[in-house]
Amino acid sequence: MSRRYYDLPPLTTLATFEAAARHLSFKDAARELSVTPGAVSHQIKALEHELGAALFRRRHRSVELTPEGDALFQALASSFAKISQRLQTIRARSFAEIVTIGSTSAVAALWLSPSLIRFSREFPDVNVNQLVRDRLLRNAVELDLFVRYGPENDLRFEEIELYRDQLVPVASPAVAKALDGSELELLARQRLIHLDSDDKTWTTWDDWFRQLGHTGPISSGLRVNNYSVALQVAQDGASLALGWKRLVRPLIQAGHLAPIGPHALRAPLSFYLVCRPDAEMTEDARKLRDWIVDEMRSVSD
């Protein structure tokens, strides 16, 4: 059946626009679609020409949706999600049902992977795939569920608050013992491990010190771009990492890290489990969702 039966523009332009709108980046859309940013720009200009309306406002280093662009994106994203779900249902008739869950590497290593092992023992017939990605997980069509810091704020998804953490300095047990009870000024002079992340919602050392009232200089220390690496460096030497106390609890319980008291800051956001609406989830996906929620809420802070 011709696309013109529905009076649609070329489907390639719609798919390209949806990716660019979802990322709010022509460059990231190009990477996802395996084309050049110029090809993305060309497709979007062609779509704007056909519609007779601007879909993006081009800024110097970014783009943002116009009202017309936002309305089109919401319609396309909802439609593509429904199509994806229908295709998944069709595939499930021929292949074993698989539940896919995503998270960052730190969340995976510190609590999600062990939780999935326990889930598999309880439900050995449920097949689970785990996707680990340290860039922001948003609206990934290959995922049934994903864990993220901060709310998704997308009405197409259900989000369940899991817990809210406490931020404390952590170091090797010997270093933590030597610095326990230190004033903020002394901690600020230590060799700090700074995390460079594309996700700007994560609290930095600068945020932590300022919100606790320290206005003086802060050690430049060293920089890493992965939280798991930051925790490993803290275990190996005389450096301090900013610890998400509940997240790193396994390392504390194992004696690899120790918190440095008494200063602690409540995280500005909570961790959430994001998933499809209940009616769009498979029975196995619902089992995994309920398992994670029940297990996380059974653990005291």
DSSP per-residue codes, 117-143: HHHHHH-TT-EEEEEE-SS---S-TT-
The DSSP letter of residue 60 is S
Average pLDDT estimate for 156-170: 91
Q: Is the pLDDT of residue 256 over 50?
A: yes
Buried-state track 114-126, b at ≥16 Cβ within 10 A, e below 16: ebbeebeeeeeeb
DSSP 94: T
H or E stretch covering 301: none
Please give the pLDDT value at position 258: 94
Q: Which fold has domain 95-162+270-298?
A: D-Maltodextrin-Binding Protein; domain 2 (3.40.190)
pLDDT at 226 over 90: no
Is the confidence at residue 1, as pLDDT, over 50?
A: no
Mean pLDDT of the chain: 87
Could you tell me if 120 and 128 are in contact, meaning their C-beta atoms sit under 8 angstroms apart?
yes
33 vs 27: CA distance, rounded Å:
10
pLDDT in tens, 31-53: 999 999 999 999 999 999 999 99
What would the mean pLDDT of 103-132 be, rounded to a whole number? 90
Q: Is 172 a residue whose pLDDT tops 70?
A: yes
DSSP string across 143-202:
-SEEEEES----TTSEEEEEEEEEEEEEE-HHHHHHHTT--HHHHHTS-BEEE--S-TTS
Closest residue by Cα to residue 190 from 213, 214, 211, 165: 214
Q: Which fold has domain 163-268?
A: D-Maltodextrin-Binding Protein; domain 2 (3.40.190)
Give the amino acid at 195.
Answer: L
DSSP 186-220: HHHTS-BEEE--S-TTSPPHHHHHHHTT--S----
pLDDT over threshold 50, residue 94: no
pTM > 0.85: no
Neighbours of 272 (CB within 10 A): 20
User: Which tokens hold the place of 2?
Assistant: 């011709």
Give the count of beta carbons closer than 10 Å to the beta carbon of residue 185. Answer: 11
pLDDT exceeds 90 at position 7? no
CA distance 26 to 38: 8
pLDDT at 301: 54
- For 240-295, list the strands marked E by DSSP: 241-244, 258-259, 265-275
Q: Is the pLDDT of residue 88 over 80?
A: no
Element (DSSP H or E) covering residue 58:
strand 56-58
- For residue 96, the model assigns a pLDDT of 54
Q: Note whether 96 and 127 are within 8 A (CB).
A: yes
**Domain extent listing, the chain:** 3-91, 95-162+270-298, 163-268
Closest CA to 70 of 157, 158, 8, 154: 154
Residue burial 243-257, b: 16+ Cβ < 10 Å; e: rest: bbbbbbbebbeeebb
CA 86 – CA 229 distance, rounded (Å): 39
- The Cα 151–Cα 206 span in angstroms is 23
The rounded percent of the chain whose pLDDT value lies above 90 is: 53
Domains 3-91 and 163-268 share a fold: no
Q: May I ask the CATH architecture of the domain 3-91?
A: Orthogonal Bundle (1.10)
